[in-house]
Amino acid sequence: MDIGCNKASVRFEENEHQTLENLSLSVKKGEKILLLGPSGCGKSTLLATLAGIIPKSIEAEVVGEVAAARQAGFLFQNPNEQFCMQTVGEEVAFSLENRAISFFEMEALIDHFLQLVGLDEKKETLIHELSGGMKQRLALACILALQPDVLFLDEPTAQLDPLGRREFAQLLGEIARDANQTMVVVEHDYEEYLDWLTRVIIFDRNGRIRYDGVPKQVLQTYREECLQLGIRLPTLFPFSWEEIVTSRKNPLAKNWNTFLSEKEKQEKNQETGESIFTSKKAIVGYKNKRILSDLSFTVHRGDWIVIAGENGAGKSTLIKSMAHLEPLLAGEFYFLNKNIKKWRDRSFYSQIGFVFQNPENQFVMNSVLEEIVLSGEKMKVKNEQLVKCVDEILRAFHLVHKKNLHPFSLSFGEKRRLSIATMLISQPDLLFLDEPTFGQDYQNEQEIFRYLKQLHQEGTTIIMISHDVEAIAKYASRLFVLHHGGLVYDGSPHTFFSKCESPEKFGLTFPLAYEYLQKAGRSIGK
């Protein structure tokens, strides 16, 4: 066995059940493997076990035979978990020091690996000042600097903007050209990997291997089974763009033409509600560092706004400032026509909700169930209704079997679902969400949007950060695009994607329906 496990089981101390049970598989040198499966099925645990992180660095009971990689590079879902230095340059240097690189060679190598991952930051930049996507790029640079035999990548593009995701996938494709480089990847959005992957392993909800083989063959043969497991299928596969563009009878072409026509009608019939939030010449930033300036806009009741832009554009800083979690540097914010500085915290936060990029930031109770109940009690939901709502949400977000566990013991995807669940039950007037579907499989992602849509229809105004251009096109009524320190676009997503010649300069890509529109060169409705 090169790398792998034989009848291996893994159980964490805080969990009653095993995360992995009686699992056997082997990884051969040079293989490029994709692990697919529902959120919480143990994919990240398997990666950490094969990399030797479990049980050496993360305590867990491991039974059976495990042959871990001797020299592994591991990219975590949350890059903060692997940083130990203060600045960008120091972090890459630390990896080079582990290889005993001399001081005289180090500066040039640091520049090389930062350039390789597209991180255009000064080496003196403090890591905590980087955006989530920038941190992910830095983490990869540090891993590549180690020159590992095996690369373990746990959702490596999840925190990147759409353009960054495409470029990152291309970068991984270049790394994959090395026939001797072994790669094991966990990724929900994997379509751009299919050209270089050699193998896919698909798990069920209980962490058992269901299918194992050549990616395109497995995905085509077990298409329906994959959908039942909540696995996102490649959108274009098995068609090519040429087939889609040249035939109106192609099912994807039909769907996209219908979608575009509907969006055109919705835009013409869109109504504007009363003001719920107003920004007047606001300047927002982080620790007195100006990030966005001259922000003037009005949020109307019933809006579903998505804020988009490159990594580091200031999206998270903006919504934290709007939610009074970061101080305004200048200007004014008004909620319900009252300056947010004049609101009492208790009254203000009883009417708004906030889902953080890192879900752990909002957990205060000792169990999943208590966390959801607390949110309902804060909003004074009646007992009978509260019991019904809690039960419905636990089932919808596949957390019933986790309800008595501590929130910190959940997988990242489960933590994210819990953080959203606590906000949904409170039914706020205004809800802020920072990348709500990050780390979710397709089924859970659709369930989250189903609940958000229901909440929106019941009167909640939504302001959401998202890198998912398909979700932007489908759900948003308004799009804010941030670029070069300002708000450069405020309007409908349909108009933006129909008229914009190069969304890439804003860190975006075309949703597939609009890419089809560009490639086909057709007018909507014709």
Mention every residue, 6+ apart, whose C-beta is less than 8 A from residue 10: 18, 19, 20, 42, 45, 49, 54, 60, 61, 62, 63
- Is residue 284 included in any domain, yes or no? yes
Q: Please name the residue ranges forming H helices in 380-477.
A: 383-396, 412-426, 442-457, 469-475
- Is residue 419 included in any domain, yes or no? no
Angle at CA of residue 133, ends 132 and 134, nearest 5°: 95
Q: How many percent of the chain have pLDDT more than 70?
A: 98
- Is residue 164 included in any domain, yes or no? yes
Rounded-to-integer distance, Cα 254 and Cα 244, Å: 9
Which domain range does residue 133 map to?
3-229
Rounded-to-integer distance, Cα 488 and Cα 357, Å: 23
Find, among 346, 356, 521, the residue nearest to 431 by Cα: 356
- Is residue 422 included in any domain, yes or no? no
Number of independent structural domains in the chain = 2
Q: Which residue has the tokens 């009690």?
A: 377
CB count, 10 Å around CB of 344?
Answer: 8
- Residue 164 banded pLDDT, cuts 50, 70, 90: confident
Find, among 102, 160, 109, the residue nearest to 135 by Cα: 160
Cα distance from N-terminal residue to C-terminal residue, the chain: 59
* Mean pLDDT confidence for 401-421: 87
- Is residue 358 included in any domain, yes or no? no
303 & 436 share domain:
yes
Give per-residue pLDDT as tens, 434-482.
999 877 888 888 888 988 999 999 999 999 999 899 999 999 999 999 9
Rounded-to-integer distance, Cα 187 and Cα 156, Å: 7
Cβ burial of 93 (10 Å; 0-12, 13-18, 19+) is buried
- Is residue 105 included in any domain, yes or no? yes
155 & 272 share domain:
no
Q: What is the token pair recorded at 190?
A: 């994997």
Rounded-to-integer distance, Cα 170 and Cα 245, Å: 24
Asked if residue 412 lies in contact with residue 158, where contact means CB atoms within 8 angstroms, the answer is no
Rounded-to-integer distance, Cα 168 and Cα 162, Å: 10
Rounded-to-integer distance, Cα 201 and Cα 210, Å: 8
221 & 268 share domain:
no
322 & 450 share domain:
yes
Query: Which residue, 207, 229, 251, sits at the end of a domain?
Result: 229
Give per-residue pLDDT as tens, 98-157.
999 998 899 999 999 999 888 889 999 999 888 767 888 899 899 999 999 999 999 888
**H/E element holding 258?**
helix 251-269
DSSP assignment, residue 196? T
- Is residue 334 included in any domain, yes or no? yes
97 & 10 share domain:
yes
Find, among 182, 155, 179, the residue nearest to 169 by Cα: 155
Give per-residue pLDDT as tens, 29-75.
999 999 999 888 999 999 999 999 999 999 999 999 999 999 999 99
pTM (2 decimals)? 0.80
Give per-residue pLDDT as tens, 199-211.
999 999 889 999 9
Asked if residue 301 lies in contact with residue 273, where contact means CB atoms within 8 angstroms, the answer is yes
* Mean pLDDT confidence for 396-414: 87
- Is residue 70 included in any domain, yes or no? yes
Backbone Cα Rg of the chain: 23
20 & 142 share domain:
yes
Query: How far is C-alpha 510 from the geometric centre of its chain's CA atoms?
Result: 18
Mention every residue, 6+ apart, whose C-beta is less than 8 A from residue 53: 74
86 & 175 share domain:
yes
224 & 182 share domain:
yes
Q: Is the dihedral of CA 285, 313, 91, 435 positive or negative?
A: positive
Give the domain CATH number at 475.
3.40.50.300
Cβ burial of 276 (10 Å; 0-12, 13-18, 19+) is buried
